[in-house]
A = this chain, B = another copy of it.
Amino acid sequence: MPTDIEIARQATLKPIAEVAGAAGIPGDAVIPFGRHKAKIDTALLPDAPQGKLILVTAINPTPAGEGKTTTSVGLSDALHRIGKKAMLCLREPSLGPCFGMKGGGAGGGKSQVMPMDEINLHFTGDFHAITSAHNLLAAMIDNSIYWGNPLDIDVRRVTWKRVLDMNDRALRQIVGPLGGAANGFPRESGFDITVASEIMAILCLASDLSDLQRRLGDIVVAYTRKREPVYCRDIKADSAMTVLLKDAILPNLVQTLENRPALLHGGPFANIAHGCNSVIATRTALTLADYVVTEAGFGADLGAEKFLDIKCRLAGLKPDAIVLVATVRALKMNGGVAKADLGEPDADAVRTGAVNLKRHIENLKKFGVTPTVAINHFHLDTDEEIAVIREMAGEFGADAVICKHWAEGGAGAEELAGIVAAKADAGASGFSPLYPDDMPLADKITTVATEIYRASVVHFDGGTARQLKQWEEMGYGKLPVCMAKTQYSFSTDPAKLGAPENHEVAIREVRLSAGAGFVVAIAGDIMTMPGLPRVPAAESIHLDENGQIEGLF
């Protein structure tokens, strides 16, 4: 079987202007970045979102892989093949992790977005712009402290760190500035990876440039010695940051292997942030296409919940259909099979593991939407194993459809496309978020933990409950909550696969993302600056004799 990179290199890409034209984007709205990437000037598009929104989510991730992005690409290509006007909306991958363990998220097999190397490297510079804007604010905070500290910032309570789009554990925790009076007042600080920046979340939730600037201004960057919040607006950084982000806010157009349009825009963390592509890209796609396929991070317990409770709530979007991706292999792992043994047929293990699938279906119905299960096919899957999945999905009224887009491209997902388009057209989605805006913050957290994770007890450690109350008093009580927990389990223990219930969730820390517009509740150890492995992928990334990149995927 050819590798992803081999398939990608055999692809014939169309000039991006041609892809844009076929998508109904007027030529003057296409701002080229290289030959196969463009930014779309949304001001030149009609502002009338009318398409149907299709969310692709998945069971809990396992080392076996589920293929959520691959399925999103395949579904979008398939919609085109059955005569529908579709548009794909995905996140941009992060540069840093490419040098560690993995290539970026651009799909796989015959369902990929192109050009994968450029997408995974600097792309159109959005993440660099976010890094610059983030670090400008950081520099201006220390500069304000340096020049007499007129805002009375408590140097022990500066919450705004710096960011780099790099896996660099050595920067997690630092002390500086050192070197004396010319450099400033020493304090503890550190760096996160750029995708963990609140600015990334803000860019992905902003409706336009003025909303972006308002949200940037709302960021709480520090507290005074009297414990009053200091806002980005007080530092007077918000307008210059907006200038730095004025191009980054425009969605990026690329194409699938089948030359169909895809908007890749934004890529916030799916733990301390909401994990979806930008609202602007989604809305742009909804003005251009009749069916918009988008995805959410991690499994449905984290990704879909945030897509629905944060992105849809804040942006006034609603899903017209949801696709829940599962694989025979991943369900077997949920059923206790080791990765090395996944090649053996084992319908019983699929049945055991499919409790994970059933739980996600049941959860999604709580949002008023019955998902369609996409069985992302692998050549070793047996009919018996697949029959088990169909049967278990059917217990909750969910269709389960075999998809062979990895091997066949869009042609392999036409059945799925037909079913999903029909469901979206039928208006069967009765979407509503899980909890109302008015619910107290702690109750929102408890609601997600009990309703979605099926915890029986939620602990609020340390001062977290009191902190939530304080934020309510400050006027942040109506914000949704953004849960940060392991993606591997419904519980906070990554080893508990399947469908654990009656477990305990401990909220160790809460953080206010006042600009993005949510409160982060952290249940477990969340790493916001990854490290490199012993042998980083960077050691083998190189240009071959033809100038092509090797080792990136």
Contacts and interface: CB of A to CB of B under 8 A. Distances in A.
Contacts of A427: none
Contacts of A213: 543
A177 B171 contact: yes
Nearest to A43: B547
Contact of A143 (B131, B164, B531): B531
A380 interface: no
A534 to B, nearest CB: 4
Contacts of A35: 31-32
Interface stretch (A74-82, A218-226, A233-241, A321-329): A233-241
A438 interface: no
A170 B147 contact: no
A43 to B, nearest CB: 8
A282 to B, nearest CB: 22
Interface stretch (A45-53, A243-251, A262-270): A243-251
Contacts of A177: 169-174
Interface in A124-181: 125, 128-129, 131-132, 135-136, 138-140, 142-143, 146-147, 162, 164-179
A183 interface: yes
A246 B120 CA distance: 14
A115 to B, nearest CB: 12
A541 B166 CA distance: 28
A231 interface: no
Contacts of A173: 176-179, 183
A416 interface: no
Nearest to A165: B132
A11 interface: no
A178 B246 CA distance: 36
Interface string A521-545: 0000000000110101011111100
A128 B95 CA distance: 12
A433 interface: no
A135 B167 CA distance: 10
Contacts of A143: 169-170, 531-532, 536
Contacts of A357: none
Interface string A168-209: 111111111111001110001010000000000000000001
B175 A140 contact: no
A55 B400 CA distance: 71
Contacts of A532: 139-140, 143
Contacts of A135: 164, 166, 168
A434 interface: no
Interface string A11-35: 0000000000000000000011111
A168 B173 CA distance: 18
A7 interface: no
Nearest to A35: B31
A240 B538 contact: yes
B183 A242 contact: no
A237 B171 CA distance: 18
B178 A140 contact: no
Nearest to A32: B32
A552 interface: yes
A510 B4 CA distance: 49
18 contacts: A31-B34, A32-B35, A122-B244, A128-B128, A132-B166, A135-B164, A136-B538, A140-B538, A142-B170, A169-B184, A170-B177, A172-B176, A172-B183, A213-B543, A239-B541, A240-B542, A243-B541, A243-B549
3 cross-chain pairs, A with B, having the tightest CB-CB distances, nearest first: A174-B176, A239-B542, A173-B179
